[in-house]
Amino acid sequence: MREHKGPVDLELFGPGEDVLVQANRMLELARAVNEATEGVMTKALVATRESQGTRAGDFYECTQGELVCVGGMCPDGTRDPYSDCGCARAFYGLASHQATSTALVTMVPLSRDDYVEAFRSSMAAQGLTGDVACEALEMLDLVADWCPGTIVERRGWEFTVRRLPPLPLIGEIR
């Protein structure tokens, strides 16, 4: 399978409307969701099997729907994001500590504080230290401008949209 590089599969946008107009509409929707759910729900990345296999180097060992974070890369992954180890394409499950190359933007029934606590307890369970609260909030910032339903992938420290939510779904969110 040919690897597709680039931020967005533009052909997934509906025909007949300017791509930028649609992208801006989705950004507006993403912000409306952020506002509407503040304090009750948090938009975060979770593990998903959806779209697995779209890329030749896909892998999935997580538990479906668990919160995911990202980690650093080994020398191989730093040199080549398509390295066999997969670390430059990986998201890690906070519960399973396993890896996936596909993550879904979704609303989880947690406040931001709850989210930071979940992140902190996962890091503690793995014996990982660092500025955990800061890293947790960075994970939330990462998805702030994306609509729920968006599937995300990474190449090193570049995070991109693999698949946008279907347009009818976007209509329902509004």
Cα–Cα distance between 21 and 17 in angstroms, integer?
7
Q: What are phi and psi of 74, to 5 degrees?
A: -80, 170
Q: Residues 41-80 vs Zn ion: string with x where CB under 5 A?
A: ---------------------------------x-xx---
* Binders in 77-96 for Zn ion, by CB under 5 A: 77, 85, 87
In whole angstroms, how close is the CB of 44 to Zn ion at the nearest point? 24
In whole angstroms, how close is the CB of 32 to Zn ion at the nearest point? 38
Q: What are phi and psi of 142, to 5 degrees?
A: -55, -35
C-beta of 37 vs 98, nearer to Zn ion: 98
* Cβ proximity of 123 and 129 under 8 Å: yes
Burial class (CB in 10 A: 0-12, 13-18, 19+), 38: exposed
Q: Is 105 in the site for Zn ion (CB under 5 A)?
A: no
Tokens of 71: 């980690």
Cα–Cα distance between 16 and 47 in angstroms, integer?
33
C-beta of 34 vs 78, nearer to Zn ion: 78
Q: Is 99 in the site for Zn ion (CB under 5 A)?
A: no
Site for Zn ion (CB under 5 A): how many residues?
A: 5
Binding site for Zn ion (CB under 5 A): 74, 76-77, 85, 87
